[in-house]
Amino acid sequence: MNAAPKVLAVLDEILASVAPGERGALWHLAEEGRELDANVVHLPPDATVGEHQEDVLDVFLVALAGSGVLRTGGGALGLAPSTVLWLPRTSRRSLEAGPEGLTYLTVHRRRPGLTVTPAVRAGAHEGGEAPCMLDLVCPECGRLSADRAPKFCSACGEEFPER
């Protein structure tokens, strides 16, 4: 792949376009062949993102506008424009927007494709039958193909392995 650098977004324009009460992704990286994911997310005043844990990916977070608090097992970290945080994988955290809301950018490695892992019950690993449609899952992006004998993924263009 020989991609050329290009402007994908202008943050000032994205921040100016936020509607009152709007919540969620304002922008996301969607370029073909990328190895990163990035999102600009807005939380309205006093909104929260409940406690969660990312087990696979480290996340880089930059506060762009507003204020908020990131709560972790180790305490609370204040967020204001230009605050940069590293959220290591396996860290538990929650997020609370301040009275003027919070807009932030997250960047992380692109999520791995769909994987099948054993179930865990009472500390024992149990197997199970493989999903009958596993050969229809793209090995690159994890999307399920509607084609019964796919050659290429319709989402990312990755070639399916020969059956």
Q: Is-above-0.75 flag for pTM? A: no
145: its two tokens: 């193909």
- The encoded tokens of residue 34 equal 């990328």
The pLDDT profile of the chain, 163 residues, written as one tens digit per residue, is 567 899 999 999 999 999 988 999 999 999 888 889 999 999 999 999 998 888 888 999 999 999 999 999 889 999 999 999 999 999 999 999 999 999 999 999 987 555 565 555 555 444 444 445 667 777 777 777 777 777 777 666 777 777 6
Domains of the chain: 11-109 (2.60.120.10), 119-163 (no CATH)
- What is the 3 state secondary structure string of 15-29? HHCCCCCCCEEEEEC
pLDDT value at position 160?
76
Segments of the chain assigned E as strands: 24-28, 36-43, 48-53, 59-72, 75-79, 84-87, 92-109, 119-121, 124-126
